[in-house]
Chains A and B, each alone.
Chain A
């Protein structure tokens, strides 16, 4: 039993014990402890992440002439640690008072914990897959585990979203299966290495089909354009901590498989040689553009949302674009930025989701038009959200800045000004909408009905604070993460980044976050000194003592500006929201409906015997034609 085997034994025992334990309290504690143990086990395996080793499990299955086996590489380890830590945070969050409230509202707490561990297990199986067949099976496990998580909410929208997700997931799975068939047809085996061989043997047209099939399969999970419609609603409609977990890591499984199949085994160099329209567009730049559009469109859809969970979920879709964009640059800092963004996004996204869930826990709503002013009641939650949105918007000193900076720098260095503009456009939308999020929730005047609201209990506060510490520390010292990134780049054949504790060394301008943060805090410090010691006397005023639009607001006139946020901007870009993708979805459904109506009429035929005779006549005639043709 090597470390990986032990790890999987622990994971399996964890799954069984969580499934069996009926006692809610014991279940909560035990499941959290299991995740801690998993983190410890991953730490013991960290040589994988630091030295780019591979651990292969002794366990394998031979079935129908295929051998399935499982292994851990730097890439698997990186995604696994994110998965397990997100699960730990979610599990801890729901273990205390949140879980109590969930049960009181009629939720099945045991099932939620089970869904969480099932998601974790299936993701670990996928991440450890050693060949295409085990990858496909792990892929399907992940799909169905997230489906289980999505159907836990009783609401109608949740079920609708989950069923929509199933259809998208099946489309993806079928695309993958077709790609698998292509690999098998050329080599008779489903090893990863056969992908490369199969690709080389193909004609140009087949290559396009091959790459696109894989890409469609993976892109659907990641919610890349044009497959972005399912994700946000489905994730937002899961029970709180479940949404945090799914939003943090679930859809990144698509990125993992893109990295394994498309980057490692097909090779970005090969994609570059696949010209679509000379000399402007090749396969690699096509994928880069898909990524860039994914950063823009979902982000601006997020801007329109007035439900906090949906707003965040749409950002989750959009941020996926940055990851792929960085990787598609095929250089050391771009891909390092893309990979780092997976971890960074997971940390702040989980923290943000948890803050929203905390607000829902106290106020009962995540509708941004029904909140406001909560900063006085829930200051720590506010702090976590502040840290989270700084990360999401990609501003220093949080970790989101580091990864986004690396992607931007890579875009500029590689001479991609248009992609750069697209990425900046995405960030602009992000900043606007995260401001909307924090303003509508925490700033402005407190609503009367929320005056009794208190800060959330510590069982919920600890995971939120823990995540925000990660957001800050990995932003302050990216060098903690970068060795893992370098190992991944080595494993999957990308140029390797040069790093130090504060950031990266790069010939065309490196980054040292310790300096950046230092100067930032220095600036704040100087400002504070001037403000507090040299300025006049500070006066504390009440939250209600405020003004808006030139009017003073007092405690009699309560006013919080939240509805129709950014009217000026919406006046400019509002016409762009046309729901074209929804329209496309409907077109497909209508076309299908039309064709199936034809078939239905055939089955309802009033003259079945005539139909039968007709078939016989046609069959005999065609045989006759064939024969007289062949005879002459």
Chain B
């Protein structure tokens, strides 16, 4: 099973050879990326069944933990890897005018994402997180419009500060315990639950929260998403934000499972939801609206994760997947429908299909039965209601209020789409490929409706696997099981 290490190695390698190959043959350099991604996708699919319910660990360089680099693989991380590969294939810049350097950046992003999903020690997580950030700066800054350059600068400042805090947090943990292996740390959580440990956790959350679009740390989001090209926005909003969330969740589950921490997550989530929806309500153009709505959705995911135990985890996972599908689809659709609302007047006449898909997506986003979004929202709200804490009950009220605001702005846009006047200007030329992908996303959403039970069971299995630190510890540190001190 050690071949899964290729997930990180291959993209990293191809990132470096693409510029070299491009000097000789542009065609080959253009093909390297997709080929690698397809190969990885196949690898993930093929190794799905061979991963047991316990997951397994890959030890790099022959060093056994807690020393050395460890990758931990279970169904959850495999699923995320598959999504990364698939999503990157979808947003892959096929256009011929793209410079090979951009392909490198994309491959770098891929490698970093895989690393982020698989790494089992904090330092590697930090490294891959930084790598991810660097690749993203590059991709944003490469956009052709000046606004994107400004947005990239803003993103760079915020993200770099966040990274510094992340590093500081990790350093504190290392000082406290002398190790960065998460499994090893999980065996000595009592040392972490002090003033210093919690401060370290706060710093880690703030650092990773920048990319996870956490409230107050997400001031870069609207600028970036509304200025970059939409497939990239779909990637960042749909996937990268989730990876940062996963980082937070991993650290939280393994090391800091305390009700106060969960409540903090809840409050942050609620603010994210409310602020995101409210500002999206004021938005006057499609991309800005979608980016603020994305902030709100991430807030909702944090709320889900703040429910202790497996329940919160599987609902959060379901929300992540749903948001990936819906928001990714909406951003892809926005490639055709971008611009201010005024430009979208009467769009339904120009492309009835696009508007139909748009409506399917927003209905699911709002949680209207029978779409998948409804079942997820229902589970979230019912489980929040079951918590013995009024804070969680208030959260229900805020979620419901936010849904009303969400409906208000989404249907305001729908009204524009169905207005009869012809559009003032012709919006960007339709790129048919992204539109096809949006259609596929919508189809997947509708088909998933028939498989709600099996999907939810799978997610529950995954959640029980992820939520149980013992599995994680025993896989990475088998010696710990026998009682020996590694």
A residues contacting B by CB (< 8 A) are: 62-64, 133, 136-137, 140-141, 144, 151, 154, 156, 159-160, 162-163, 166-167, 170-171, 174-175, 177-178, 180-182, 184-185, 188, 592-593, 595-597, 599-600, 602-605, 608-609, 611-613, 615-616, 619-620, 623-624, 626-627
Given A64-B375, A609-B161, output 5 extra A-B contacts at Cβ < 8 Å. A596-B281, A603-B292, A611-B219, A612-B158, A623-B202
- Give 21 A-B contacts (CB < 8 Å), ordered by A residue: A62-B453, A64-B375, A133-B378, A136-B369, A137-B370, A141-B369, A159-B419, A160-B415, A167-B407, A167-B411, A181-B381, A184-B385, A184-B386, A600-B278, A602-B275, A603-B279, A608-B219, A612-B165, A616-B206, A624-B199, A627-B194
User: Considering the chains assembled together, what is the distance between the CA atoms of A317 and B282 in angstroms?
Assistant: 32
- What are the residues of chain B within 8 A of A185 when measuring CB–CB? 382, 385-386
Which of A62, A137, A151, A178 is B369 in contact with, Cβ under 8 Å? A137
B400 within 8 A of A: yes
Nearest CB of A to B421, in Å? 10
Q: Which A residue sits closest to B219, measured CB to CB?
A: A608
- What are the residues of chain B within 8 A of A175 when measuring CB–CB? 400
User: Considering the chains assembled together, what is the distance between the CA atoms of A64 and B456 in angstroms?
Assistant: 8
Indicate if the CB atoms of B202 and A620 lie closer than 8 Å.
yes
Nearest CB of A to B310, in Å? 14
Indicate if the CB atoms of B379 and A177 lie closer than 8 Å.
no
Nearest CB of A to B138, in Å? 20
User: Considering the chains assembled together, what is the distance between the CA atoms of A626 and B264 in angstroms?
Assistant: 13
Indicate if the CB atoms of A608 and B158 lie closer than 8 Å.
yes
User: Considering the chains assembled together, what is the distance between the CA atoms of A604 and B226 in angstroms?
Assistant: 13
B residues contacting A by CB (< 8 A) are: 154, 157-158, 161-162, 165, 194-195, 198-199, 202-203, 206, 210, 216-222, 260, 274-275, 278-279, 281-282, 292, 363, 366, 368-370, 374-375, 377-379, 381-382, 384-386, 396-397, 400-401, 403-405, 407-408, 411-412, 414-415, 418-420, 452-453, 456
- What are the residues of chain B within 8 A of A159 when measuring CB–CB? 415, 418-419
Nearest CB of B to A207, in Å? 16
Which of A605, A616, A626 is B203 in contact with, Cβ under 8 Å? A616
Nearest CB of B to A585, in Å? 12
Centre residue among A141, A167, A170 by max chain B CB count within 10 A: A170
Given A163-B414, A185-B385, A624-B195: A596 and B282 within 8 A (CB)?
A: yes
User: Considering the chains assembled together, what is the distance between the CA atoms of A202 and B327 in angstroms?
Assistant: 40
User: Considering the chains assembled together, what is the distance between the CA atoms of A137 and B371 in angstroms?
Assistant: 11
Q: Which B residue sits closest to A610, measured CB to CB?
A: B161
User: Considering the chains assembled together, what is the distance between the CA atoms of A611 and B452 in angstroms?
Assistant: 41
- What are the residues of chain B within 8 A of A162 when measuring CB–CB? 415
User: Considering the chains assembled together, what is the distance between the CA atoms of A163 and B292 in angstroms?
Assistant: 21
User: Considering the chains assembled together, what is the distance between the CA atoms of A626 and B193 in angstroms?
Assistant: 13
Q: Which A residue sits closest to B157, measured CB to CB?
A: A609
- What are the residues of chain A within 8 A of B217 when measuring CB–CB? 612, 615
- What are the residues of chain B within 8 A of A595 when measuring CB–CB? 278
User: Considering the chains assembled together, what is the distance between the CA atoms of A185 and B389 in angstroms?
Assistant: 12
A-B contact count (CB 8 A): 142
Indicate if the CB atoms of B415 and A181 lie closer than 8 Å.
no
The 3 A-B residue pairs whose C-beta atoms are closest, nearest first, are A596-B278, A181-B385, A174-B400
User: Considering the chains assembled together, what is the distance between the CA atoms of A133 and B404 in angstroms?
Assistant: 20
- What are the residues of chain A within 8 A of B405 when measuring CB–CB? 592
Indicate if the CB atoms of B198 and A615 lie closer than 8 Å.
no
Given A140-B369, A181-B381, A615-B206: A593 and B404 within 8 A (CB)?
A: no
Which of B162, B194, B274 is A612 in contact with, Cβ under 8 Å? B162
Indicate if the CB atoms of A603 and B375 lie closer than 8 Å.
no
Centre residue among B374, B404, B414, B456 by max chain A CB count within 10 A: B404
- What are the residues of chain B within 8 A of A137 when measuring CB–CB? 369-370
Indicate if the CB atoms of A608 and B385 lie closer than 8 Å.
no
Indicate if the CB atoms of A619 and B219 lie closer than 8 Å.
no
Given A163-B412, A612-B158: A177 and B381 within 8 A (CB)?
A: yes
Nearest CB of B to A587, in Å? 15
Q: Which B residue sits closest to A169, measured CB to CB?
A: B407
- What are the residues of chain B within 8 A of A619 when measuring CB–CB? 202, 206
Indicate if the CB atoms of B375 and A63 lie closer than 8 Å.
yes
User: Considering the chains assembled together, what is the distance between the CA atoms of A573 and B217 in angstroms?
Assistant: 56
User: Considering the chains assembled together, what is the distance between the CA atoms of A137 and B367 in angstroms?
Assistant: 11
- What are the residues of chain A within 8 A of B375 when measuring CB–CB? 63-64
- What are the residues of chain A within 8 A of B206 when measuring CB–CB? 612, 615-616, 619
Which of B381, B386, B408 is A167 in contact with, Cβ under 8 Å? B408
Q: Which A residue sits closest to B418, measured CB to CB?
A: A159
- What are the residues of chain A within 8 A of B382 when measuring CB–CB? 180-181, 184-185
- What are the residues of chain A within 8 A of B374 when measuring CB–CB? 140
Q: Which A residue sits closest to B264, measured CB to CB?
A: A619
Q: Which B residue sits closest to A140, measured CB to CB?
A: B369
Which of A166, A602, A605, A612 is B210 in contact with, Cβ under 8 Å? A612
Indicate if the CB atoms of B404 and A174 lie closer than 8 Å.
yes
Nearest CB of A to B318, in Å? 10
User: Considering the chains assembled together, what is the distance between the CA atoms of A356 and B413 in angstroms?
Assistant: 33
Centre residue among A64, A604, A611, A613 by max chain B CB count within 10 A: A64
User: Considering the chains assembled together, what is the distance between the CA atoms of A599 and B216 in angstroms?
Assistant: 10
- What are the residues of chain B within 8 A of A597 when measuring CB–CB? 282
- What are the residues of chain B within 8 A of A596 when measuring CB–CB? 278-279, 281-282
Indicate if the CB atoms of B220 and A608 lie closer than 8 Å.
yes
- What are the residues of chain B within 8 A of A136 when measuring CB–CB? 369
